[in-house]
């Protein structure tokens, strides 16, 4: 049983080599996995709908739908803060299972909590206010019903706003808050949490009321090209290139 986790690919036409890597991954080793989880921020630009023809959206949708069509593959996607507005029509076109942020799965009989990770960064009050606004149902409804050209304008503005906002923030503020992590793991009674968003790849110990837990942070597809692999040997990180090579032999 092999389960793969990736997040924060930030696919865009600015980095065609990552799109090519994603393609190789989906058409190679990912085909042999029992499940592939994408935990948010698959796209770099703010997602506004499947009708947005700007590249690489349609190419990525085609890649994903091709992947889902293969025998035995299971594609599970969680929204990130770039793709809050991924909806039913995206799931229909890619044939993926869309899961909410905060999703519990069973791995080897243990309960594992999956999140994108941005809601754990509670020290960043400004960001949390912004998230509350952008993910509220009225905004989501508007995003579904406004004409494409207006949504494209909004997406561009959102992008420049978020770039501006993140400029002067210290690394501590944009990382997860340890208390928030502990509280959420205790609330959901899990010893393992997997998330992305911060791009700070690593495995951390978490002291819980009833023992020790672990928090696994996925790396991005800028310099880490990270995949988290769970198989009979346990969990391990690998660079996508190495994973491609290893599965060739």
Convert residues 179-208 into a mask of x (bound to Mn ion by CB under 5 A) and - (unbound): ------------------x-----------
Considering only 29, 49, 80, 219, the residue that binds Mn ion (CB under 5 A) is 80
Helical spans, DSSP H, in the chain: 16-27, 57-69, 88-94, 125-134, 137-145, 148-167, 178-187, 240-248
Dist. CA 74–CA 115, nearest whole Å: 18
Element (H, E) at 98: strand 97-99
Counting contacts by CB under 5 A, is residue 151 touching Mn ion?
no
Task: Report in angstroms how near the CB of residue 235 gets to Mn ion at its nearest.
Answer: 21
Taking the least distance from each CB to Mn ion, the nearer of 7 and 143 is 7
Per CB under 5 A, the segment of 80-88, 100-108, 163-171, 229-237 that binds Mn ion is 80-88
Task: Report in angstroms how near the CB of residue 83 gets to Mn ion at its nearest.
Answer: 9
Counting contacts by CB under 5 A, is residue 219 touching Mn ion?
no
Taking the least distance from each CB to Mn ion, the nearer of 56 and 83 is 83
Dist. CA 16–CA 22, nearest whole Å: 10
Start-to-end CA span in the chain (Å): 19
Taking the least distance from each CB to Mn ion, the nearer of 57 and 81 is 81
Residue 92 burial (CB count, 10 A): 12
Task: Report in angstroms how near the CB of residue 117 gets to Mn ion at its nearest.
Answer: 7
CA distances for 39 relative to 113, 118, 130, 168, 196, angstroms: 11, 11, 20, 26, 7
56 preceded by a cis bond (ω within 30 of 0): yes
Taking the least distance from each CB to Mn ion, the nearer of 68 and 85 is 85
Per CB under 5 A, the segment of 14-22, 29-37, 79-87, 123-131 that binds Mn ion is 79-87
Counting contacts by CB under 5 A, is residue 41 touching Mn ion?
yes
Instruction: Report the interface residues with Mn ion, using CB under 5 A.
Output: 41, 80-81, 197
């Amino acid at each position: 049983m092999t389960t793969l986790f990736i997040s924060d690919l930030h696919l865009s036409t600015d980095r065609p080599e990552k799109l090519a890597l994603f393609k190789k991954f989906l058409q190679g080793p990912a085909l042999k996995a029992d499940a592939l989880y994408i935990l948010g921020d698959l796209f770099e630009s703010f997602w506004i709908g499947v009708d947005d023809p700007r590249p690489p959206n349609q190419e990525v949708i085609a890649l994903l739908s091709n992947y889902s069509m293969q025998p035995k593959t299971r594609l599970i996607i969680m929204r990130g803060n770039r793709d809050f507005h991924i909806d039913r029509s995206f799931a229909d076109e890619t044939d993926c299972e869309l899961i909410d942020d905060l999703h519990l799965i069973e791995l080897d009989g243990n309960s594992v909590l999956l999140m994108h990770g941005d809601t754990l960064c509670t020290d960043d009050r400004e960001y949390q206010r912004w998230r509350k606004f952008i993910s509220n149902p009225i905004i989501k409804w508007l995003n579904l019903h406004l004409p494409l050209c207006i949504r494209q304008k909004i997406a561009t503005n959102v992008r420049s706003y978020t770039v501006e906002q993140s400029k002067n923030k210290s690394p501590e503020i944009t990382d997860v808050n340890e208390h928030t992590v502990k509280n959420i793991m205790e609330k959901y009674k899990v010893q393992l949490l997997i998330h992305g968003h911060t791009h700070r790849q690593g495995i951390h110990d978490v002291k819980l009321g009833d023992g020790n837990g672990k928090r696994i942070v996925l790396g991005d597809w800028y310099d880490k090209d990270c995949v988290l692999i769970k198989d009979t040997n346990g969990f391990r990180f690998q660079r996508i290139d190495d994973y491609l090579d290893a599965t060739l032999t």
